[in-house]
């Protein structure tokens, strides 16, 4: 499959690129800092750009069949770059007739199927208090995706670790059996698996180890 990955140079994005190539996908890796991508493969095209540039986003997905985004705010500044970039991704996908979109978000972004317990509510309060712009940026991002008209899946995650892949993945909702951590490798593997699995289209599951 021809696949564009946004956030490809990040810590999770690099796992995603590697696993996508192992699965024999043809990958366009969109990155603000492409030098961080050290993989060399004839099936890999690295595109330097910023997601706030609608033209570069459109070019990056022009030949793709699906899009995966692991974009996340780099700071708590009020620039809302991720929601802006996601809007550009959605607009370009609709323009070009590309249907499948898979994005990541923190588990603190609520879903109607959640049943948060006291711990979840306390953590949510802390996130909204100390990282309010990060939180609002991702809430807007998820809302853009939900109303996109695309075949979307939002993969929500708790604390990320760089531990080796565990493979013992839980798929749940906040307050309904979700664990506290997930490895970046397991997260990437789950997101990639959604290219061939329509079970979570139009849903926002929370995954964990």
Q: Which residue has the higher pLDDT, 205 or 119?
A: 205
User: In the prediction, which pLDDT does 62 show?
Assistant: 94
**pLDDT value, residue 139:** 94
Over residues 154-175, the pLDDT tens digits come to 999 999 999 999 988 999 898 8
Residues 9-45, buried b or exposed e (16+ Cβ, 10 A)?
Answer: bbebbbbbbbbbbeeebbbbbbbbeeeebeeeeeebe
d(C-alpha 107, C-alpha 147), whole Å: 19
Per-residue pLDDT at 119: 67
> Degrees (nearest 5) of the Cα angle 127, 108, 164?
105
User: Within 13 Å and on the Cβ side, how many CA atoms surround 132?
Assistant: 3
- What's the rounded Cα separation, in Å, for the pair 153 and 41? 28
Q: What percent of the chain has pLDDT over 70?
A: 98
pLDDT over threshold 80, residue 23: yes
Three-state DSSP class for 146?
helix
* Span 182-199, average pLDDT: 97
pLDDT, position 175 = 86
pLDDT at res. 2: 97
Per the prediction, the chain carries an average pLDDT of 93
Note the pTM of the prediction, 2 decimals. Answer: 0.94
Q: 46-73 b/e with 16+ CB inside 10 Å = b? A: bbebebbeeebbbebbeebebbbbbbbb
Q: Is 90 exceeded by the pLDDT of residue 43?
A: yes
As a whole number, mean pLDDT of residues 29-50 equals 94
Decide if 10 contacts 70 (C-beta within 8 A): yes
The whole-number pLDDT of residue 130 equals 65
CB 124 within 8 A of CB 130: no
The phi and psi torsions of 75 (rounded to 5 degrees) equal -155, 175
| Residue predicted with more confidence, 125 or 132 | 132
Task: Tell me the per-residue pLDDT of 93-131, one tens digit each, with 9 for 90 and over.
Answer: 999 999 999 999 998 898 888 887 776 777 776 677 667
Total domain count, the chain:
1
Specify the residue for token string 């991720």.
82
Pairwise CA distance, residues 14 & 25, whole Å? 14
Which residues span the domain enclosing 84? 2-208
- Identify the CATH number of the domain in which residue 69 sits: 3.40.50.720
Contacts of 81 (CB under 8 A, 6+ apart): 50, 51, 52, 73, 137
């Amino acid at each position: 499959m021809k696949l564009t990955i946004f956030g490809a140079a990040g810590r999770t994005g690099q796992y995603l690129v590697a696993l996508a190539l192992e699965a024999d996908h043809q990958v366009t890796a969109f990155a603000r800092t492409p030098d961080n991508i050290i993989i060399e493969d004839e099936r890999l095209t690295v595109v330097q750009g910023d997601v706030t540039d609608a033209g570069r986003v459109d070019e990056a997905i022009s030949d793709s069949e699906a899009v995966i985004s692991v974009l996340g705010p780099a700071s708590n500044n009020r620039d809302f770059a991720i929601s802006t970039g996601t809007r550009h991704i959605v607009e370009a996908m609709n323009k070009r007739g590309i249907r499948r979109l898979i994005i990541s978000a923190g588990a603190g972004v609520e879903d109607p199927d959640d049943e948060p317990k006291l711990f979840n509510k306390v953590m949510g309060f802390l996130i909204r208090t100390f990282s309010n712009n990060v939180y609002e940026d991702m809430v807007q991002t998820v809302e853009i995706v939900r109303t996109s008209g695309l075949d979307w899946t939002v993969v929500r995650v708790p604390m990320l670790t760089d531990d080796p892949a565990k493979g013992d993945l839980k798929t749940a909702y906040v307050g309904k059996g979700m664990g506290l951590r997930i490895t970046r490798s397991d997260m990437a593997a789950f997101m990639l698996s959604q290219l061939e699995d329509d079970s979570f289209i139009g849903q926002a599951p929370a995954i964990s180890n």
